[in-house]
Structure 1
Amino acid sequence: MTPFNKIVLFAATAVLSAASGLVPAQAQEAEFRDCLQSIKSEAMRQGIAGSVADRAFHNLTPDQKVVDLDARQPEFTQTYGKYVGNAVTPDRIARGQQKLAQYRSLLGALEREYGVPAQYLVAFWGMETNYGSYLGDFQVVRSVATLACVTKRAAFFSNETVQALRILATNGMTSQQMRGSWAGAMGNMQFMPSTFVKYGVDRDGNGRIDLWNSMPDAFASAANFLRGIGFRPGLPASDEVLLPQAFPLETADTTVEKPVRDWTAMGVKRANGQPLPVSDDLSSIILPAGWRGPAFILYPNFKAVMNWNRSTLYALSIGILAQQIAGGPAVMRQPPDDDQPLSHDTVVDMQTRLARLGLYTDETDGLLGPKTRSAVRMFQKKIGLPADGHPTPEVVQRLVQAVR
C-alpha cells in the first residue's frame, strides 16, 4: 500500500471514529500519528528530509476548530446582490485606489512582465485579505495535517501538508511562523502551500519568499500565479452589458460560448451603450440575479479568475472591484429587491421535484450549480416564464404546485 493510500485509509477511519464516538481517544491519537508518519514517508520520497517532518509534527495534535469549520455547511445560498454588495464596498474601492497609487511603480513593472493589470492584483489582495488586514492565525501545518487525517479530503490535504513541509525546508521558516486560514491558505494573497511552492516569487531578492511581509513577493507571486492559470493581456475578465429586448435568455449561460463579435451582432452592448470590443475571443453572457438584474459578458480571463476561486460570484466581484479601483463605472443595473437566498433544504427540495419531472438527473446535493439552473430553465420554459435559470420565489412556488 502506498503512503497516500494509507493516508486515505487513516482519514476514513478517523472520520468514522469521530462520527461514531465509540473509539477511545488513545486510538484516535494513534490513527493521527500513523497518518502523520505516512505523510512523512511521502515527503521523504519527494526529497524532503525526515527531520523537517519530525520538527513540524512534534507533539502535533488535530485542531478541533478546523474539523468543526470544515464540517460546517452554509445554510443559505448567497445571492448576487448580497455577495457583491459585501465584496465591493465604497471603502474597499477607495482603499484599493490608495494601494494602487502607493505601489504604482512595482505594479507597473509586474504588469509589463506578467501581463496582469495592476488593478486586478490589487483587487485580489482586497478580496483575499482586505489589503492585508486579516491573514489568519491558524498554524498552517497543523491545519492541513488535520484536514488530511481527520476529514474526507485526505489526498488533497496530504499533498498540501507535504508542500507545507517543503516550504519549511526551503524557505527558512518555522511552523509557528507559517500561519494562515483554517484551511491552510496563507499570506496576503492566501496561497495554499502547493500554490506557494509552484508560483511563489522572491521579488525583493532576499533569498526567501515572504507572502506575509513583502508586498513585492506577494504581488509578483500573484501575477505569476494568474499568468500560470491562464490570465492573458487584452480583454478584462468581464463587463456589464445591456441585452436587446428579444435576447434569447436560454443563451445566457456559461455553457454557451460565442465570439464577442457574435454577441455584438445580436445587439448586445456595454452597459453604457458603447459597443463591445471587436474580438473573436469566445465569451459567455450570464444573468446572476435573473433577467431583472444586471447582465455580464465573461471574457476568457474570467476563466482564469475562476481558476483562482471556483465561485462565479467571487470572480464577478473581482472584475467589478478591479474596474472601479481603476476608476471605471459602478454596475449600473441593480438586482431585484425580492431576490432572496435559498436554504440548502429548499434547493434539495427543488432538485427532487425537478428530478420527478425528468428535468434534473444529477445528485440532490443542495447546491445551486449549472445543472440545477439548467433544469430550472427547462421548467420555466415549460410553464411560460422567462427562462433565465434563476429560481425566484415565484418559480419555487410554481414548482411546489406542479409536483406535490
Structure 2
Amino acid sequence: MTSTLANTPEPSRLFEPARVGGLLLPNRLVMAPMTRTRAAADGVPQPIMATYYAQRASAGLIIAEAATPNAVGRTYPNIPAIHEDAHVAGWRGVTDAVRAAGGRMFLQLQHGGRVGHPDTSGLTPLAPSPIALPDTIFTSRGHQPAVVPREMTAAEIDSTVNDFAAAARKAIDAGFDGVEVHSANGYLLHQFLARATNRRTDAYGGSVEGRIRFTVDVVRAVADAVGPDRVGLRVSPGVTVNGIEEGDTDRIYPELVGALADSGLAYLHVVFAEPDQPLFRVIREAWPSTLIANPKLPWPGPMPADGGRREGERLLEAGADLISLGRAFLANPDLVERLSVGAPLNPLRDKHLMYTGGEEGYLDYPVLAVADDAA
C-alpha cells in the first residue's frame, strides 16, 4: 500500500458537494463509463463487477459501463446488457454493493449500431445507412473484418427507441439511480448525428434537424419512462473514434442541445472537453442544468501524473459542474482520497488488461495505507 504525501494540495471545488437530478453528491468527481468486458457471455453482470464498482464508491457519481438495450446492439464479447430479467438480477448485485459502500450509480445505455458483428450477437448489425465500419472489429474469434450493416427501417427505429425506454426501466428496477444515453464515440446514436454515416433521405437524415432526431427521440422516450431527473446524455463533439466524420460539428451540437434544453434532464456529459474551445462555451451557455465535462487528456500515452485534476479544475472554472475521469479511476479505486490529500497515483498497467477478463488489472490496484491510530 502507498502512503499519503506530507504536502496536502490547495482546496479545490472538485471536493465540494453538488447535485445531479435528485441526487446529492459528496464531491464533483465522476467515474466515467469504461467497458471492461467482465460480464458473462450472455451479458449478465458477474460478482467480480460488484467488487470492482464498490471499490470505487467514493466517487461523487459512478456511471457504469455501457450496457446494451437489445441483442442486436451488442458491440463486443462479454459486455453487459440490460434487456432481460437475468441482466437485471446481475446488475442488482452491483448496485447493492455500491450502495452498501455509500455510492451512487447511473448506467450507460449503448447500442453499437454498425459497431457490431454476427460472431458476437448472432445478428447483422443495424445502422442509419449501410456503411461499414472502416476498421476490423474484435469478436469471440478475434479481429474480423467489419460487415456492412443493414439500414434501419422506420419500424426498427421505433422499436429501438422503445428498447431504450424499456432498458431504462429495467435499470431502475436493477437499483440504478438513473441512466445515461450514449450518443457519443461512434456508436448508433452518434452514427445518426454524423453526415458520413447517415445518408438517409427520410425524417431521420439529411439536414441537421433530421440527423439529431433519433437522439432526441431516444432521450425523450427514456425521460418519459423513468423521469427526466434520472436521465443524462453523453456526447462527443468532433471525436472521430470508430470511423465517425460528423462534417458539421459546430451546427450539430447547438441544435441538439437546444432541442433538449427544456427536457429537464439530470445532466449533459461532454467527452474530451476543452475549456478554451468555442463550442464548449456555446454548449455551456445553452445547457440549463448540470454539465459533466470529461477532460481531453493525451491518448494514447501515459496517464497524467495528477490523473487529470488540473484539466478538471480548468473545466470547472470554465463552467462545468462535475468532472468525469476514466483511466485515473480505473487504476485508483480511492482516487478521490488520493487527489484530496496529494498522494501519488497508481500508474495504469498494461492497457490490454482492461479487456482480458479476470481480477488482474481489475481488482488488484492498491489503495492508500490506513494510518495506525495506535502508532
Same fold per superposition (TM over 0.5): no
TM-score calculated relative to the size of structure 2: 0.23
Name the one with the larger strand percent: 2
Q: Which protein is bigger by CA-based radius of gyration?
A: 1
Name the one with the larger helix percent: 1
TM-score calculated relative to the size of structure 1: 0.22
